[in-house]
């Protein structure tokens, strides 16, 4: 038989043998998560308490939500540096609309989310139709968003929000914090979109080979526009959580969060050049970062040294993951 065209579907990715789990792109981030958790557990007996775990997840939620949009963008081979600034701007303006203009709070929140989405659309249009490099476009819009928030607020936090807003930041349903539930829902939706829709496949395809995707008839620009819009959307959802936690609109919030979001995506095994990666990896990456922050805090390590340690661990993780397929 010289033409053994194999027609039987391979039983790959269905059965969960230990070997297939090891070959999964999630293996390395998971191992990292387990190792770091165990180390933290050894260093502090408080670490594995239910309370502390929920606390870690609650702290992770803001960066975790930002990292969802970032995953979409990075999968197409782009990057979005504006997410931290957009989040701050959305939070500040929403608070402003409630306090200064007297808009009903739910309306102000929705308007804020729409604004974040619009800013994402602007980023996407500049990248897709303006054909400018994403890193430059979003660096510029990052500066603009941050500046606008500071101008509007004069640099001061806007407080005096209706008290129920805090539900988004510190509320609980049963024992589970509301922001953790929000984060879980957002990840679930993102997973479905990336794995089960044509749009999701096109996101991966553009990161894999944009020319081939375009020539085969994929609407590559529309997809690019959409991923930046999604990133704007998740930035404003993160803003809702953050506003609830701080009970104010803070124009200076979230400085450097874009870098944490990128770190979460990359720690989760997504290729920075695009085309490969899983949204669950990002979740693991975000939690890993959160555990590091929490654990180093519990151990009482000097905050400046914490940054050094985190940077070192990120480098190490990426070095180990370099040739992993």
Query: Which stretches of the chain bind other proteins, using CB under 8 A?
Result: 2-10, 12-13, 192, 196-198, 201-202, 204-205, 208-209, 211-219, 275-276
Cβ-based burial of 240 (10 A; exposed 0-12, middle 13-18, buried ≥19): buried
**Least Cβ distance, residue 186 to other proteins (angstroms):** 17
Q: Nearer to other proteins by C-beta: 77 or 177?
A: 77
**Least Cβ distance, residue 6 to other proteins (angstroms):** 5
For residue 52, give both structure tokens.
């502390």
Q: What are phi and psi of 282, to 5 degrees?
A: -60, -40
Q: Nearer to other proteins by C-beta: 205 or 237?
A: 205
Q: Nearer to other proteins by C-beta: 212 or 315?
A: 212
**Least Cβ distance, residue 304 to other proteins (angstroms):** 40
Beta pairing class for 248-249 and 176-177: unpaired
Q: What is the DSSP string of 110-163?
A: HHHHHHHHHHHHHHHHHHHTS---HHHHHHHHHHHHHHHHHHHHTTS-EE---G
**Least Cβ distance, residue 214 to other proteins (angstroms):** 6
Question: Are 41 and 33 within 8 A, CB to CB?
Answer: no
How far apart CA 198 and CA 202 sit, in angstroms, is 6
For residue 185, give both structure tokens.
């829902």
Q: Nearer to other proteins by C-beta: 196 or 308?
A: 196
**Least Cβ distance, residue 46 to other proteins (angstroms):** 43
Closest residue by Cα to residue 79 from 26, 145, 132: 132
Closest residue by Cα to residue 121 from 74, 84, 192, 69: 69
Q: Nearer to other proteins by C-beta: 300 or 325?
A: 325
Q: Nearer to other proteins by C-beta: 201 or 310?
A: 201
**Least Cβ distance, residue 243 to other proteins (angstroms):** 31
Q: Which residues share a beta bridge with 249? A: 158
């Amino acid at each position: 038989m010289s033409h053994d065209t194999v027609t039987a579907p391979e039983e790959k990715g269905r059965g969960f043998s230990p070997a297939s789990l090891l070959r999964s792109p999630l293996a390395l981030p998971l191992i990292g998560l387990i190792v770091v958790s165990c180390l933290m557990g050894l260093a502090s007996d408080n670490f594995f308490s239910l309370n502390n775990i929920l606390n870690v997840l609650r702290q992770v939620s803001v960066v975790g939500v930002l990292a969802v949009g970032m995953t979409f963008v990075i999968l197409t081979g782009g990057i979005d540096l504006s997410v931290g600034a957009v989040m701050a701007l959305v939070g500040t303006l929403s608070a402003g609309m409630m306090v200064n203009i007297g808009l009903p709070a739910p309306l102000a929140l929705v308007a804020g989310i729409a604004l974040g989405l619009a800013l994402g659309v602007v980023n996407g249009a500049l990248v897709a139709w303006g054909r400018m490099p994403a890193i430059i476009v979003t660096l510029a819009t990052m500066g603009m968003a941050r500046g606008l928030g500071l101008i509007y607020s004069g640099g001061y936090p806007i407080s005096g929000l209706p008290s129920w807003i805090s539900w988004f930041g510190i509320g609980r349903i049963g024992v589970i914090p509301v922001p953790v539930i929000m984060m879980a829902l957002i990840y679930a939706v993102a997973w479905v979109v990336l794995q089960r829709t044509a749009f999701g496949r096109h996101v991966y395809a553009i990161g894999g080979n944009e020319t081939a995707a375009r020539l085969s008839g994929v609407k590559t620009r529309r997809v690019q526009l959409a991923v930046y819009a999604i990133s704007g959307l998740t930035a404003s959802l993160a803003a809702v959580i953050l506003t609830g936690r701080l009970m104010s609109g803070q124009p200076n919030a979230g400085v450097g969060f874009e870098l944490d979001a990128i770190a979460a995506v990359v720690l989760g095994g997504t290729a920075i050049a695009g085309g490969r990666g899983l949204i669950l990896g990002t979740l693991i990456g975000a939690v890993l970062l959160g555990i590091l922050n929490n654990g180093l805090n519990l151990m009482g390590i000097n905050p400046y040294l914490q940054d050094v340690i985190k940077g070192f661990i990120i480098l190490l993780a990426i070095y180990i993951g370099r040739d992993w397929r």
